[in-house]
Chain A
Amino acid sequence: MSALRLRPASAIRARKHPLAVAFAWLFEATFAVALAHPFYASIRGVYGAHPDGDLPLFSPDGLEIAELFMRSEGTTRALVASSTWVLAIAVVLGHVRLGALVAALALEREDELPLSGRDALGRGAARLFPLLGVQALGALFGGALLALGMGLAGKLHAHLLQTSIDARADRWAIAVVVPFVLLALTTSVALDLARVGVVVTPGRARDGLRLGLRAFAKRPGAAIAGWSARAALGVVPVVLAAIVASRLGGRPGASLALVLAAHQIAIAPRVALRASWLAHAARIVAASRPAATSAAAPAAADASPEPKAQPEGGADGGDAAAENASTSALATR
């Protein structure tokens, strides 16, 4: 198998890899079906006996859905338990998806042929355990931040309640929590750069982690702006789809088909935005590596001059500072 190397930053573009994005969507859709089907089957088991099928469950006063929910407490508990397992498997395998997606976006073969799907998946699979490690680290750190924020806010809230109206105490508590939430979100941005580092760096995962975190430390503004812009954009299709779905309702037939279309049209750009963000993260990582530095000498990266952060153009905006970035060789394992 040919060795893989990091593309020049300027060549890392999510839009050049529609198949990789489609794969990411398919992965998500497949697990969504796996999550949804037991609930569907259980509901159909009851409402399949109704001439209108599941239609009564959408009655405007909510009687049927409320009744079904109250009736099937045991079933629901079992379904939630089994779904938790499906979700856990999805999260673990999701790291392979992430690794494959990053590999497809950011790596190329030394023989200049594009990465095959097998190459990309191979790289994702090879980095599964390191990526899980990064995830655990990030969850621990982010969790600690949130716990600290909530703890402080709770203390302040209780203190303020002694002397002032709850609304004031609530607002102050929120004001205390928000920076911690933002910090936790920032952690998740850094985490993504670390993930990219782990995927694109040959050899020890620790070096990749260090590379990603250093890239974040060098250009936190570019990373946070790139992530936030895409996160904000990602809300738009969900809101639009919610409006469309509530207008259409979704009686079986054309109406339901339109709702399905609206929902999937909302999901597709979100998956693309995620890929675009990972490409952006990969550009930052690539740009943070000095020219012609091999992965075997990551320490050299320390000495490299810090590239200037550039304002982001859009979802898949250019990274002028990354243009002169290097390529480096790594082998798939």
Chain B
Amino acid sequence: MKKRAVALALALASVALADDRAPAGAPSLPPEDTSIARASTDAAMAAHAERVVDYTLRATLDPVAHTVHGEGTIRWTNASAAPVSELWLHLYMNAFKNESSVWQRQPIGRFRGGAAVRDWGAIDLRRLVWKREADADLLPRLERSRPGDPDETDARAPLPSPVAPGQTITLELAWDVKLPSVVERTGYDRSFHMVGQWFPKVAKLEPDGQLAHFPFHHLSEFYSDFGTYDVTLDVPAGFLVAATGPVVERRAEGGRAIQRHVQSDVHDFAWMAWDEAVERTERIDGVDVRILHHPAYAAVAERELAAMRFALPHFRERYGRYPYSVLTLVHPPDTAREAGGMEYPTLITTGGPWWMPEGFRQPELVTIHEFGHQYFYGLVATNEERWPFLDEGLNSYAEAECLRAWLGPGSASSLLSLGVGDHVAQAVSSRRFVHDEPVARRAGDFVLGQDYGGLVYGRTATVLETTARVWGKPAMDRAMGTYARTFRYRHPGPADLLAILRDVVDPRAATAAKVALFDKGWVDYVAVEAVSRKPREPAGLFDRGGKRETVAATSGAEGRYTGYAVVSRRGTLSYPVDVLFVAEDGTRTTRSWDGVGDTTRLPYEGTSPLAFVVVDPEHKVLVDQDSTNNMFATGARAGAPRIMERAVYFGQLALEVALP
């Protein structure tokens, strides 16, 4: 099993490295017989992750100074095929240390983390020793930043001697963290303390012995190896704690509350401590679900629990059993909303104001999204820095799929008769960014936060939703299920996803997805023209039997009309589409067009003249750049009486407010 994983990882690394220097370079698909057995059922899923790194840590919180003192050991195994002579440690709390960090010096508008840092944060490594016969102190040679780049989030620790493949080493460490005011994901807001990215974390080891390390960038999330986290948290009595993994030990000691959390098969550990929180617990689908919130947020907390009641069994069916015994939700106060909407293994933060009206599904949407990350990030542990679309994009698709199954078509908001679906919000909001940057791009390479948000989340989800609509939901469900199960506890790349789309859905689906994600692919179907008339004999001058005859134009045969519609496919994506013909007598016929050529003429024949033509009437191609040019009227246009009625009524109501 381990051997197979290494072979797989090597294959993936070659894909990743090949793309490294060519931002728009899409991966070439692996041959049909991939080295991993496809898992389309839970029985074929991996039971555990390869254990590369174990952390045994102890953390003490001072909620007044907003500091955490940490110490403990890291047990790290060189699971690669090459000797490793340096370790890279992510010290991400230093992103908030000063304005010279990568995080703070790159302006990245219109995405999370836009607020100014009100109180700086930092991490100081106090001790770093390689425990062996003759202990090696790694701290003196620790390289906290690079020459010419003062960022201190990505530290290099040269080793006195290389670690051989298969060899396990133990590091002893101690450090101090000063939490920032909540800026992006982590920090404090009064007595609310969200502690994420708080310990020195070894970068992900790749199969070639390189460590996939990167500074903390505004738009980038994380990438780590699996292992076991055994963490003891020490907070003042009266503080409720939420953390990764179940509590295995709990005691009170000198005015402190101490609890130990242990969780295997995860790749991060985060925690929260808050003395104003209350908690609710409920066993859902065999999982102990716990939600911590301020009492004033009880109503939204209940909505989030309701979301979990639907989502847990739904995701189990679609993407395999949730393998952990606990799932903890934290609803941060809205003043700390930057700590909300974030995923860590078995711990998610939701968000939204306490007064959010029922019709706006933000609490439900965020809850399901963050829970979805337990699969697309947690279990399928893709490189979030290199391929952010693989976790955020797939998860956005899963979120919208789940929300629609639960709440119906108005899954993002629903007020009276006005509803907006989550997939619609994703599709429409991402359209405007399609030509700006490729979707499949390194998180740190995105120029604008809005491009990252629109493309990585919305565009990817819309491409997948289009695949589901064009080739059928069952095929797409099978593909997503196979992908999630096959790559559980693994680190797949784009090629793996595309291969599954090709093999499980359709080769054209894989090609379209590849062009859409890597090459800014786009498509706009247009109904250009439609004509019909009675068929009749050709009129004009004809030379027949040595004589020139004049054939007059006739009015044609009664009760039969022939004609055509001209439909066009603009752009670089190609999907088969339906074309709807509507005759003047109301008769409707649908023809399919393979969508392969650019512009085509589709014949019409009927007993009544052709009145309207609509390309893709059911909006299967949700990526269609402009669906308002998909219809054509040959003559009289239809009315819009309902719009007029509504507009007049709302005009009247508005006037009643404005008029004296």
**A residues neighboring B (CB under 8 Å):** 28-29, 31-33, 35-37, 39-40, 43-44, 46-55, 57-64, 66-68, 70-71, 87, 90-91, 94-95, 97-98, 131, 135, 161-163, 165-168, 170, 195, 238, 241-242, 245-246, 249-252, 256, 259-260, 263-264, 267, 270-271, 274
Contacts and interface: CB of A to CB of B under 8 A. Distances in A.
15 contacts: A29-B648, A43-B640, A50-B633, A51-B582, A51-B614, A60-B410, A61-B411, A61-B424, A63-B427, A70-B431, A90-B658, A250-B646, A252-B639, A256-B645, A263-B649
B294 interface: yes
Nearest to B646: A250
B641 A256 contact: yes
Contacts of A166: 333-335, 353-354
Given A28-B652, A66-B425, A165-B294, A245 B640 contact: no
B638 A47 contact: yes
A63 B660 contact: no
A39 B645 CA distance: 11
Contact of A40 (B411, B427, B640): B640
B619 interface: yes
Contacts of B423: 61
B300 to A, nearest CB: 10
Given A54-B641, A58-B417, A87 B658 contact: yes
Most chain A CB within a 10 A radius of its CB, from B333, B420, B626, B645: B645
Contacts of B649: 32, 241, 263-264, 267
B643 A170 contact: no
Contact of A31 (B276, B296, B655): B655
Given A167-B294, A170-B355, A44 B640 contact: yes
Given A60-B409, A135-B660, A252-B639, A165 B417 contact: no
A22 to B, nearest CB: 14
Given A40-B643, A71-B626, A256-B645, A246 B431 contact: no
Contacts of B319: none
Main secondary structure of the interface of B (DSSP, over half): mixed
Interface in B614-660: 614, 619, 622, 626-628, 631-633, 637-656, 658-660
B612 interface: yes
B631 A49 contact: yes
A132 to B, nearest CB: 9
B397 to A, nearest CB: 15
Given A61-B419, A256-B645, A35 B654 contact: yes
A201 to B, nearest CB: 17
A48 B43 CA distance: 54
Nearest to A31: B655
Contact of A50 (B432, B638, B645): B638
Nearest to A52: B638
A224 B59 CA distance: 62
B659 A242 contact: no
Nearest 4 A-B pairs (CB), nearest first? Answer: A48-B637, A167-B296, A32-B651, A36-B647
Contact of B628 (A40, A46, A60): A46
Contacts of B424: 61-63, 66
B225 to A, nearest CB: 38
Nearest to B294: A165
B563 to A, nearest CB: 16
Contact of B428 (A67, A165, A168, A274): A67
A307 to B, nearest CB: 26
Q: Which bracket fits the contact residues of B?
A: 35 or more
Contacts of B588: 51
Nearest to B612: A51
A64 B296 CA distance: 38
Contacts of B411: 61
Nearest to B652: A32
Contacts of A68: 628
B628 A91 contact: no
Contacts of B527: 49
B276 A165 contact: yes
A23 to B, nearest CB: 13
Interface string B412-439: 0000111111011101110110000000
Contacts of B641: 53-54, 252, 256
A97 B656 CA distance: 12
A94 B652 CA distance: 13
Given A28-B652, A29-B648, A54 B658 contact: no
Nearest to B427: A63
B637 A44 contact: yes
Contacts of B637: 44, 48-49
Most chain B CB within a 10 A radius of its CB, from A35, A62, A195: A62
Contacts of A267: 649, 652-653, 656
A146 to B, nearest CB: 15
B352 to A, nearest CB: 12
B577 to A, nearest CB: 16
B567 interface: no
Nearest to A91: B658
B611 interface: yes
B408 interface: yes
Contacts of B646: 250
A165 B296 contact: yes
Most chain B CB within a 10 A radius of its CB, from A49, A167, A271, A274: A49
Contact of A61 (B416, B421, B639, B660): B421
Contacts of B431: 70
A29 B647 CA distance: 11
B76 interface: no
Nearest to A249: B417
A148 B264 CA distance: 57
B586 to A, nearest CB: 8
A250 B333 CA distance: 42
Contacts of B199: none
A25 B475 CA distance: 57
B315 interface: no
A28 B656 contact: yes
A252 B622 CA distance: 27
A166 B294 CA distance: 10
A238 B653 contact: yes
A273 to B, nearest CB: 10
Nearest to B414: A60
Contacts of A245: 416-417
B297 interface: yes
A36 B648 contact: yes
Contacts of B660: 91, 94-95, 98, 131, 135, 195
A28 B645 contact: no
Given A67-B628, A161-B335, A61 B420 contact: yes
Given A63-B427, A167-B355, A245-B416, 15 more contacts: A36-B650, A48-B639, A49-B633, A50-B638, A52-B638, A54-B640, A57-B640, A62-B410, A62-B420, A66-B420, A67-B627, A90-B655, A250-B642, A252-B639, A271-B656
Contacts of A37: 644, 647
Contacts of B333: 165-167
Nearest to B355: A170
A50 B354 contact: no
Nearest to A69: B428
Given A94-B660, A165-B276, A170-B355, A63 B428 contact: yes
A138 to B, nearest CB: 9
A48 B643 CA distance: 12
B404 to A, nearest CB: 8
A62 B643 contact: no
B418 A62 contact: yes
Most chain B CB within a 10 A radius of its CB, from A67, A94, A271: A67
B294 A263 contact: no
A55 B650 CA distance: 18
A62 B419 contact: yes
Contacts of A162: 190
Contacts of B297: 167
A217 to B, nearest CB: 21
Nearest to A270: B656
